[in-house]
A and B are shown apart, each in its own frame.
Chain A
Amino acid sequence: MTDKEQQEAISWSKLSLSWDDRSAFQRCIAPGQIARNGATLLVGASGTGKSTFLASLCGIKIPDEGSVFIAGTNIYDLPNARRDMFRAAHIGVIFQQLALLPFLNTLSNIMLPLRFKNFWPNRSGDGEQRARLLCHDLGLPEHLLAQDVGTLSVGQQQRVAIARALICDPTLILADEPTAALDRENRDMFLDLLFSMSKVNKTALLIASHDEGIAHRFSNVITLQKESRHRVAA
């Protein structure tokens, strides 16, 4: 692995995106990369293709053209099943509505990606140890681990979502509008926590948002526009 690859968590060549069922939708994304410990903001109005771009970086949506390297691996070269396992191991995801599974308790929600990281479930107990450590670092009290996530406050659920994104010690965290439903104070608290945890865990961060008010916190901003153009800000 080269120094460049070691420094880059993720890089992509020019990506050409389209949806089969939306023939009018076509986007070209310019090449880019995110360094380890780097934080990038992806902004753009609704319909500019933020979600499609995130799906491409995850390896679920295969672009018409282009490649995505994560930790030095071109994810589109991997067979489907390997790519899914690779995603579980290298990408942590935080969703807009946090998307915790309501029928699992806190600990199970956090540990869920571990099940998909390998073909067979890992029964070593290391995962649980790491989950407890993350919860400790995130300030989640021990007694909440066995509770249903539905009984947690929004703030606690946010921490659970962050812990779940970090459980596999990923190279990159993708967050899709994670602060959309939060007021300014909670938004800042959430971002503080996310930034500090990604720094501690040496994880690159890519957050998609339509809130340009948070742009100053990021070293890199990618703006997607409806005219199929893009701008990469330094």
Chain B
Amino acid sequence: MSLSTLVLKSLQARRLAVSLTMFAIASSLALIIVVETVREGARQNFLNTISSTDLILGARTGDVQLLLYSIFHLGNASNNITWKSYQDIAANDEIDWIVPVSLGDSHRGYRVVGTTPEFFQHYNYGQREQLTFSSGKQFAGLFDVVVGAAVAKDLAYEVGAKLIVAHGLESFVEHMEFPFQVSGVLNATGTPVDRSVFVSIEAIQAIHTNIAPLQNNTNDLSGEALFDGMDLTPQSVTAALIGVRSKLSIFNVQRQINKYPNEPLSAILPGVTLAELYQITAVVETALRIILWAVIVASLLGMSAMLVATLSARERELAIMRTIGASPWHIAALIMMEALLLATLSALCALVLANIVLSVSSPTLEDRYGFAVTHSRALASGSSILAFFMILAPLAGLVPVISAYRNSLAARLAFNN
């Protein structure tokens, strides 16, 4: 009979105590795996807020600030880009596509984004995933509006719903004369798009046009007909998303924009700036990691305590083995194998438990926060955590092993017991 069989049979005989210990360790490890998987998912989700966009164009400002107002809709642009400059940049042969973004208005607390229909094609998030519509389609008419998933859910908007855009961000001045109609509702992305209201860039220009002279000339007081034949080309835009033809030319285009002579402009690499921005959470991440490792150490100490506690109960069993020929090293090996087997089984249980929890919570995470927690991601997070746990497990087994070894050397025999 091998020592491993002996360990298995011994553990099996103490299955209740062993199962409870294993469950306690597995629960702690599963908790760590779930937290780590969700954290990594959230991080990836944040870093992939925008993908496929090579450069973000804005008026001269700091990188993080430009990213914050153009993509996250936090804060305001200090300056806009004139339409002429925008066109000059757009004419660059190295640029494959450019999509303007015009900010400044809001609807019931949600930012209104003036853009072109190409936005829905070129704004990618995650692993180059395109925006998709849960219902309806992108705007076609001047007063059509597309709403993000969170906006549609919070305000109970469906295709066909009417809404009014307010001037400014916290203004009570509403463009009552131009009611918009929802033409499409986007699927959740877990990005600021969910909390945005999209209109055409011409609509932004239209609602800011002084319509009094127009109303004098026509009986139609509102609607698209009012602007028939009118040039609604914007005077300026807040920012623009740029895709270049060759990745090799990104820095060249960035340099050209930064040196644009007619207006102080900035072009930033969204991925780099996102990573910079994410550094803000570094302290929190470090704190979280310390807590996670502390939980691992606590789990191992729990296992060690359980093994030491069972040693006194198994004193006679070990003494019998010692008397019939087992060396102190055999006894030590038995306890160490028990610790490693317990750790391995706990780790496997933790992986299963974590995957069950993530499977159950994944739809909620995707629905509310827009990021999916895949089993492969859980496996990736789990593997590194469990590898670390398994490296430390022999150390946790060391205390009971040394205790058992010393007891064996002390020659406590089964005789007369």
Chain A residues within 8 Å of B, Cβ to Cβ: 50-51, 54-55, 58, 60-61, 80-81, 84-85, 87-89, 93, 95-97, 99, 101-104, 108, 111-117, 121, 164, 168, 176-177, 208
Contact = CB atoms under 8 A, between A and B. Distances in A.
- Which bracket fits the contact residues of B? 20 to 34
B323 interface: yes
Nearest to B326: A116
B13 A60 contact: no
B12 interface: yes
B317 A101 contact: yes
Contacts of A58: 323, 413
Given A80-B327, A114-B1, 16 more contacts: A54-B413, A54-B415, A58-B413, A60-B322, A60-B323, A81-B327, A87-B324, A88-B324, A93-B324, A96-B415, A103-B9, A103-B10, A104-B6, A112-B324, A115-B3, A121-B1
Contacts of B219: none
10 contacts: A51-B413, A51-B416, A54-B413, A58-B323, A61-B413, A84-B327, A93-B323, A96-B417, A99-B316, A116-B325
A8 B111 CA distance: 101
Given A81-B327, A87-B325, A117-B325, A112 B415 contact: no
B390 interface: no
A215 to B, nearest CB: 20
A60 B327 CA distance: 10
Contacts of B328: 80, 84
B1 A111 contact: yes
Contacts of A116: 321, 324-327, 330
Contacts of A81: 327, 329
Interface of B: 1-3, 6, 9-10, 12-13, 316-317, 320-330, 411, 413-417
A73 to B, nearest CB: 15
A113 B327 CA distance: 11
Interface SS of chain A: helix, strand, loop or mixed?
helix
Contacts of B327: 80-81, 84-85, 116
B414 A60 contact: no
B415 A84 contact: no
A103 B325 CA distance: 19
A93 B327 CA distance: 15
Contact of B1 (A51, A84, A88, A115): A115
A177 B320 CA distance: 15
**What are the 6 tightest A-B residue pairs by CB atom distance, in nearest-first order?**
A88-B325, A116-B325, A103-B13, A84-B327, A51-B415, A51-B416
Given A88-B325, A103-B9, A116-B330, A177 B411 contact: no
B1 A108 contact: yes
Among A104, A111, A114, the most chain B Cβ lie within 10 Å of the Cβ of: A104
B325 A121 contact: no
Nearest to B13: A103
Contact of B2 (A60, A99, A104, A121): A121
Nearest to A114: B1
Contacts of A51: 413, 415-416
B9 A104 contact: yes
Among B320, B323, B325, the most chain A Cβ lie within 10 Å of the Cβ of: B325
Nearest to A111: B1
A166 to B, nearest CB: 12
Contacts of A99: 316, 320, 414
A84 B325 contact: yes
Contact of B320 (A101, A108, A115): A101
Contacts of A84: 325-328, 330
B411 A55 contact: yes
A23 to B, nearest CB: 16
Contacts of A80: 327-328
Among B3, B323, B329, the most chain A Cβ lie within 10 Å of the Cβ of: B323
B410 to A, nearest CB: 9
B13 A102 contact: yes
Nearest to B10: A103
A58 B327 CA distance: 12
A93 B417 CA distance: 14
A89 B413 CA distance: 18
Given A108-B1, A116-B321, A121-B2, A50 B9 contact: no
B414 A89 contact: no
Contacts of B320: 95, 99, 101
B415 A55 contact: yes
Contact of A176 (B322, B411, B416): B416
A95 B9 contact: no
A87 B411 CA distance: 14
A113 B12 contact: no
A172 to B, nearest CB: 13
